[in-house]
Chains A and B, each alone.
Chain A
Amino acid sequence: MYKYDEYDQQMVDTRVAEFRDQVRRRLAGDLTEDQFKPLRLQNGLYLQLHAYMLRVAVPYGTLNSAQMTLLGDIADKYDRGYGHFTTRQNIQYNWIKLEDTPDILAELAKVEMHAIQTSGNCIRNISSDQYAGAAAEEIVDPRPYAELLRQWSSFHPEFLVLPRKFKIAVIASETDRAAMRLHDIGIKMVKNDAGEIGAQFYAGGGMGRTPMIAPLIRDFVPLDQLITYAEACLRVYNRYGRRDNKYKARIKILVHELGRDEYVRQVEEEFAHLLTQPIEPPLAELERIKTHFTDPGFEAGASDDLDLTDPDFRLWVERNTHAHKQAGYVIATVSLKPVGGIPGDASADQIRLMAQLAKDYSFDELRVTHAQNIVFPHVKKADLYTVWQALDAAGLATANLDTVGDIIACPGLDYCALANARSIPVAQKISERFGSAERQAEIGELKLKISGCINACGHHHAGHIGILGVDKKGLENYQLLLGGSEGADTSLGQITGPGFTEDGVVDAIEKATEVYLANKQGEERFLDTYRRIGMAPFKEAIYG
């Protein structure tokens, strides 16, 4: 894992001092709310429905147990005993006091954490594959590149007041677990014919009210030009992205309006110019960062045997673990989606327990996934049962990864000031309706995603089943979408038709799963069947 040097630490400490000063000026009346708001947002501090909300960055979703422990402690000390893991691989606290925020940031800085650029019209926290460095199929570990970009994008003077927020994802596997092409810039690390590693760039993806899948803009950027190319992409966007309409200000609209080819032409022109400027870090810097991401001390020849006699354990192993590149190890996912629970929420005690387990059994490392779960990236198979027992005792052993119960839900109208409808109660009802393990197993992989408004924080466009909360004459109403996907086969869901009440949408989903089961061929997932038979049979069952 990346470890700060004196410079990194100084940057974060300086930010704490700066924010402390901003809060002082706000409370003294030297800053109005209009002036303060963009500043606090660049530090992840929102004003939400019930209080201030603080979003803490978890760069590319990776953290160690000291950091995780502190996240639990902050929940107890400054919040109400819990935190919410988000689709941006970050954590949010819902009950923060403005006056406490500088102290919270100071505590975070002590364990090399921060809330820098977790909101606002700037380059946001960079997301990545939650299995990075552990998955069997990756080309390289994507995180050194993400870290290089993190440093470049932190306080980049030219790009702090962009037309709109800017999200970057970096992956290095064929299997896309980070919804890479639904980002403003998606980067996929690839190997060219000569066997060299480079970056493939996609630009102009995003969700929100106009969801778009990012087109490829460059097949191969050599590693010694990575920052320069990213800078060119950003400069063209900063100069020409629309600023007249907030809803048309994301880079996806620029790429769409210019056309992919024209955007590429402008970027290439800017890139050629920027290559003449001494702005690219030397490859030695990338090498330095890479030394932080070497394999932990895996035990050679660790046994691949697993005693699966306990049926509950067996189910969890089947559902919630993933092949590791090292023999004798697995990647284990802790589902934060208990039946009837709040997706992504974890209590302070649960957070600390996961920290402890990571320390004891996963080389001190955890990951946050964009599906709002927690990953232990390197668990020895011999320890897996012990880990599972500890999780089970804490209500953290729900075996439902990627099934209908593993719902992504944004905070919705229960917490979010922008929401049209509540998301969480819908998620709770669905997970209860499909609560039985047999039923979940029968339905298999089904990615269900709920957003409380068109901003799509719950990624509803990318759900095999998506739900969008809307306001219908002051009443909560839910639109249903089918056929979205965020993986290597990214697609956008289509709306089924008229919206539903909260109970109505749960019924409609049940009908959709029945259509799937009745039409499923062989090993087809819900999404495959939908793609083969189309919307019509689903529509008929739902509205017929």
Chain B
Amino acid sequence: MVEVQFRFREDEAVNDPAVTVDAFAAQTNATAVRIEPGDDARDLLPHLDRLSLVEVSFPAWTDGRGYSSARILREAGYKGEMRAVGDLVIDMLHHLKRCGFDAFAPDKALNDQDARTAFDRWENVYQATAVDGRPAIWAKRHG
């Protein structure tokens, strides 16, 4: 099991075993799910109330489907832990966070200081993702 290296939540970490999206609907006691790049995150929408951990898997960081999966679940109101797992690179951490991720479990531990710099790199952002609580630059301009 990969370690969570960065976590931006106050609550207790959930470490229930994550099941596949396919299995999740049938296993009514499951509370953690793992989304692979090809899965449709919207399949989980009927079950949001019993979810407390979503792992979104990045077998290769250059496959960006997980960004949409995370944001879709957040848009639908999912409030639990959203954990990015797999091939994570420092330079994308900030963007993952903007799509609703709040926990990061890279395959290989990242340089702690470089990663912290990356998380904090962008003081302002051009878009509202509506899931990271950050106002877009346009909102500040017309605040």
Which chain A residues have a beta carbon within 8 Å of chain B's beta carbons? 5, 7, 10-11, 14, 17-18, 21-22, 25, 30, 35, 38-39, 121, 151-152, 154-162, 235, 238-239, 243, 273, 277-279, 281-282, 284-285, 288
Contact = CB atoms under 8 A, between A and B. Distances in A.
Contacts of B99: 157-158
A239 B114 contact: no
B68 interface: yes
Contact of B137 (A7, A159, A160): A7
B117 to A, nearest CB: 7
B52 interface: no
Given A30-B114, A155-B125, A160 B141 contact: no
17 contacts: A11-B124, A14-B123, A18-B91, A18-B121, A25-B114, A39-B91, A121-B62, A154-B126, A157-B67, A158-B67, A158-B99, A238-B68, A243-B63, A278-B128, A278-B130, A282-B138, A288-B141
A278 B117 CA distance: 28
Contact of B126 (A21, A22, A155): A155
Contacts of B140: 7
A127 B29 CA distance: 52
Contacts of A156: 126-127
Contacts, number: 100
Contact of A279 (B62, B63, B92, B129): B129
Nearest to A227: B127
* 3 tightest A-B CB contacts, nearest first: A161-B64, A157-B98, A157-B95
Interface of B: 37, 61-65, 67-68, 71, 75, 89, 91-92, 94-96, 98-99, 111, 114, 117, 121-130, 136-142
Nearest to A8: B137
Nearest to B97: A157
Given A7-B137, A14-B123, A238-B64, 9 more contacts: A21-B117, A151-B126, A152-B126, A155-B95, A158-B129, A161-B64, A238-B67, A278-B130, A288-B141
A243 B68 CA distance: 15
B130 A279 contact: yes
B138 A277 contact: no
Nearest to B94: A157
B26 to A, nearest CB: 24
Output the residue of A25, A157, A158, A278 with the most chain B CB within 10 A: A157
Contact of A38 (B62, B68, B127, B128): B62
B129 A161 contact: no
A22 B130 contact: no
B137 A151 contact: yes
A5 B62 CA distance: 32
Contact of B141 (A7, A25, A161): A7
A141 B110 CA distance: 47
Given A7-B141, A281-B138, A288-B141, A273 B126 contact: no
A354 B67 CA distance: 44
Output the residue of B67, B121, B124, B127 with the most chain A CB within 10 A: B127
B64 A162 contact: yes
B121 to A, nearest CB: 6
A159 B126 CA distance: 13
Contacts of A21: 114, 117
B61 to A, nearest CB: 7
Contact of B136 (A25, A239, A281): A281
B91 A282 contact: no
Given A152-B126, A157-B95, A160-B95, A14 B141 contact: no
A308 B132 CA distance: 63
B5 to A, nearest CB: 16
Nearest to B131: A277
B71 A158 contact: yes
Given A14-B121, A157-B98, A161-B61, A284 B126 contact: no
Contacts of A281: 136, 138-139
A161 B124 CA distance: 21
Nearest to B41: A239
B127 A157 contact: yes
Given A7-B137, A22-B91, A288-B141, A157 B63 contact: no
A318 to B, nearest CB: 44
A10 B123 contact: yes
Contact of B63 (A158, A159, A161, A288): A161
A444 B33 CA distance: 65
A282 B114 CA distance: 36
A285 B135 CA distance: 14
A235 B127 contact: no
Nearest to B70: A158
Contacts of A38: 62
Contact of A10 (B62, B95, B124): B124
Contact of B142 (A22, A162, A285): A285
B100 to A, nearest CB: 10
A213 B136 CA distance: 34
Output the residue of A5, A238, A239 with the most chain B CB within 10 A: A239
